[in-house]
Every structure is written in C-alpha cells, then in structure tokens.
Amino acid sequence: MGRSRVAGAPTVAQVETAGRRREGWLLASAGVSILGDRFGELALPVVALEVTHSAWDTAGVAAAVGVPGLVAALVLARRIAAGRSRSVAGAAHMLQALAFAGLSLVVAGTAASLAVLVVFGLAVGVGAALNTAAMPTVVRHCLLDDRRLQRFNGLVEVVDGTATLAGPVLAGVALGALGASPALGIDGLSFALAGLIVLGALRPQPHEPGPEPPRPAAQRAGGLGRLVGDPEQRLLLAVTAAMNLQSGGIVLAVVLLSRRALDTSTLATGAILAAAGLGAIVAGALIVPRVPIEHWQAAVAASFGLCGIGLAALAAAPNLAVAAAANILVDAGSVVCFALTGTRRLQATPPGLLPHLSAVSFQVGSAASVAGVLLVGALAATIGPRWGPAGLAALTILAAAGTTTARTDTRTHPTPDPRP
C-alpha cells in the first residue's frame, strides 16, 4: 500500500525547490547589503578624514556607527515579534539607505562637520542594529533544514569576499571620479535594493511552520540567562568580542596606514581593503565547508593565529603589495571565525531565544567594534599609524591563546545531528 499524502501538501521536490529559491534570495540580499557595507567602510572614513583632518575625529565617526548596536540591540530584539522580523529587516535597510542619501546631500553643501557626520553615522548604526536583531530569525525560518546552515554561512562568506573585492575598489573609483556626495548616494542605493529584496522576495511560504509563539518575559530572561551561563555560549560570545575588536579596527587601520604612512591614493587604499576579499572567498569556499563543526573551537583558535600574523605583517608593510597580501591573511582567518561561530550559535540556540541571544551577541560585538576603532584611532593619533594594526595583532594573538585553552562542556551540549 503506497504512502498517502494530505491533499494540497507540497511534494519533497517542491519543498526543496522553494528552499533553494529562498536561499538564493537570502544570498542576493546579503550580497547587496554587504557590498554597501564594504563601500561605506572606505567612503565614510575617507570623507570624515577630509572633513576633519584628524585621525581621532575620524575614529569617532566610525565608532558612531557601532554605538546604537552597543546601546539598543537587546531592547530592539525584545520589541521585534518573530513574525515581523522580515519587515523589520527590510525597514532597517531602508533606514540605512536614507541615512546615506541624507549624508550625500549634506556633503554636497557646506554643512558637513564632525557633529553632522556623527549624527548620520548613528543613523546608519540604528539600521545595522535593527537588521542584526531581525535577520537571524529570517534566516532560520527560511532555512529550516540544519544541513543548509553551515553551507549557507560558508556561501555568505564567499559573497562577503566578493563584495569585499568589489566594494572598496568601487568606492575608491567613485570617490576619485565622482566625488564624495555621489559616492555616498550610490552607497544608499545598495541598501535600498537590499531592503526591496527582503520585503518583496522573502515572503512567507505556505506549508512551512510559523515562528514559535513569544515567550513570557520572565521565561525568556531565564532561558537567555541559562544560555549565557553555558560554557560554550560564553566562549562563542568571547570569540565574537575578539573578532569584532579586530574587524572593527582593521578598516580604519588600513585607511590611516595607507594614507598617512604609505602615502597612497584613495584608489590604492581601496585596493588594499579589496584584497581581503580574496582571503574571504578562498576561506569561505574551501575551508569553512570542510571543517567539522564539532571542531569549531580548534579551527577558530588557529584562525586567530592567522589573523595575528597578517596584522603584524600589515603593521610592518613597506608598500602596497605587502599590505594587500597581509590583509588577505587577516580576512581569511576572520571568515573562518565568523562562519563557524555563527553556524554553531544557530545550531545550539533554541529558536525562541535566537533573536535575543543574537542581540546579546551583537551588543558584545558592537562594544568590541567601537573599542577597536577607538584603539586604532588613539594609537595612530598618539604614536603613529603603524601602531594601530600592531595593537590589533597583539590582542588577536592573545585571543588565539585564550580560545585554545578555554574549556567547554561539549558532552552536555552536543552538536545536533544534521540528518533529517
């Protein structure tokens, strides 16, 4: 007797096709959004440096982008209903688009100042905080199959690497050929497109389970407290802090090193930043998919070591070629860290608590990112531009040692079986 199927229920092939389609749209949205991020990571500090002529003030503008996540990410996550996460993510992209459009108009006039740049940096940061609080739930509901998660995170890092190759170069070309105002406007268009993809293409599919009903505040807080008290979750948060300290400061470190120590053009600065994309593509395509997720801790420790070596080489770089090669190593290590910790966090966290733990992670990361930017700015302003990457190198090597020696109780928190 053959198996019966409920009338109207999708076939396995239909479910698989729908999953691939939604995974494709997720990657498209991520790619366009990350391209905007990488474009802005060069454009905003360069514009700030031209307006303020100060490494410390430029660091302040870059740090302003991370402040909203530091202050409000957990609050935002508590206010975002799981069923509205897609709408919030789309609106977050639109807010970023409006912020860059407004900044473009300001720079075109005569009103640009440190205070104005900080205000628009904060607006960009609010959009980033909203998006970070909402998107993990969007991804989890789109990719219900655990087998897709690690592959998807690896693909995101490949997309990130491609955007890292293109974004800084495009920003350098746009800044040099068109000027600051049109370049910032172009960046705003990328976020608008990402928002349209999220709002228009990632619609809820029929026959898929909906999000978990919201938990009472006390139950949610208790569950979140137990997660943060888990040794593995604590290590994941510590790795998040260390990686964001490095990634928060690296762009400013490259901008100040190339412009102040190597005396390169904006386009050459973009080339150094773009070189990181090669490391991201190789690591995301060839390394991340081949690392057994149960060995994520050892892989992350090794990746921290690779980042530290790259940062030390960057600090000592005598020319553009060496700086670019060093940045390839830094980003290759970063990709492995971010992809594996992101995958493990999605696997180990109950779906009902995922937005809140993601927000905690984002707050920790935002605090570390702001600290990294300010550290690089302070070292560059007081000692010299080469001391920014040198300081990051020392801290990253310490993170490698700490990750290696950290103990987690993996026996009581096993990796979920990825098989259906």
Q: What is the pLDDT of residues 72-101, one digit of tens each?
A: 655 665 556 555 777 888 888 999 999 999
The sign of the CA dihedral 363, 367, 370, 373 is: negative
Is the CB of residue 105 less than 8 Å from the CB of residue 183? Answer: no
Say how far apart CA 140 and CA 37 lie, in whole Å.
Answer: 22
pLDDT attached to residue 186: 92
Q: What average pLDDT score do residues 151-176 get?
A: 81
Considering only residues 414 and 51, tell me which one the structure prediction assigns the higher pLDDT. Answer: 51
Q: What average pLDDT score do residues 318-344 get?
A: 91
pLDDT at 176 over 90: no
Q: What integer best gives the mean pLDDT of the chain?
A: 80
Q: What is the pLDDT of residues 93-112, one digit of tens each?
A: 999 999 999 999 988 887 78
Is the CB of residue 395 less than 8 Å from the CB of residue 387? Answer: no
pLDDT attached to residue 327: 94
pLDDT attached to residue 212: 46
pLDDT at 410 over 80: no
Say how far apart CA 88 and CA 134 lie, in whole Å.
Answer: 6
pLDDT attached to residue 12: 46
Is the CB of residue 141 less than 8 Å from the CB of residue 149? Answer: no
| Structural domain includes residue 212 | no
| Structural domain includes residue 144 | yes
Task: Kindly indicate the confidence band of residue 259, based on its pLDDT and cuts at 50, 70 and 90.
Answer: confident
pLDDT at 355 over 80: no
Q: At what angle do helices 12-52 and 231-256 cross, to 10 degrees?
A: 40
pLDDT at 258 over 70: yes
Say how far apart CA 71 and CA 76 lie, in whole Å.
Answer: 10
Task: Kindly indicate the confidence band of residue 416, based on its pLDDT and cuts at 50, 70 and 90.
Answer: very low
pLDDT at 57 over 80: yes
CA separation, residue 163 to residues 16, 38, 174, 279, 415 (Å)? 28, 7, 15, 12, 31
Q: Which residue in this structure is represented by tokens 């293109």?
A: 166
| Structural domain includes residue 113 | yes
Task: Kindly indicate the confidence band of residue 143, based on its pLDDT and cuts at 50, 70 and 90.
Answer: low
pLDDT at 319 over 60: yes
| Structural domain includes residue 8 | no
pLDDT at 6 over 80: no
| Structural domain includes residue 415 | no
| Structural domain includes residue 3 | no
Residue 212's closest CA among 34, 40, 31, 351? 351
Per residue in 78-96, is it b (16+ CB within 10 Å) or e — as a string?
bebebeebbebbbbbbbbb
CA separation, residue 56 to residues 59, 104, 145, 175, 414 (Å)? 5, 22, 46, 22, 46
Write out the residue range of the structural domain in which residue 251 sits. 19-203+219-405
Say how far apart CA 63 and CA 360 lie, in whole Å.
Answer: 19
Q: What is the pLDDT of residues 184-235, one digit of tens each?
A: 999 999 999 988 888 876 655 444 444 444 444 444 454 456 556 778 888 8
Q: What is the pLDDT of residues 374-386, one digit of tens each?
A: 999 999 999 999 9
Structural domains of the chain, count: 1
Tell me the pTM.
0.71
pLDDT attached to residue 264: 86
Task: Kindly indicate the confidence band of residue 254, based on its pLDDT and cuts at 50, 70 and 90.
Answer: very high
pLDDT attached to residue 41: 85
Q: What is the pLDDT of residues 13-49, one digit of tens each?
A: 555 566 677 778 888 888 888 889 889 888 898 888 8
pLDDT attached to residue 18: 62
pLDDT attached to residue 126: 86
pLDDT at 348 over 90: no
pLDDT at 245 over 80: yes
- Domain harbouring 332, CATH code: 1.20.1250.20
Is the CB of residue 54 less than 8 Å from the CB of residue 103? Answer: no
Say how far apart CA 364 and CA 60 lie, in whole Å.
Answer: 19
Rg (CA), the chain: 21
| Structural domain includes residue 355 | yes
Say how far apart CA 54 and CA 60 lie, in whole Å.
Answer: 10
| Structural domain includes residue 6 | no
DSSP state letters, 323-372: HHHHHHHHHHHHHHHHHHHHHHHHHHS-GGGHHHHHHHHHHHHHHHHHHH
Which amino acid, residue 245?
L
CA separation, residue 47 to residues 35, 69, 114, 372 (Å)? 18, 23, 11, 20
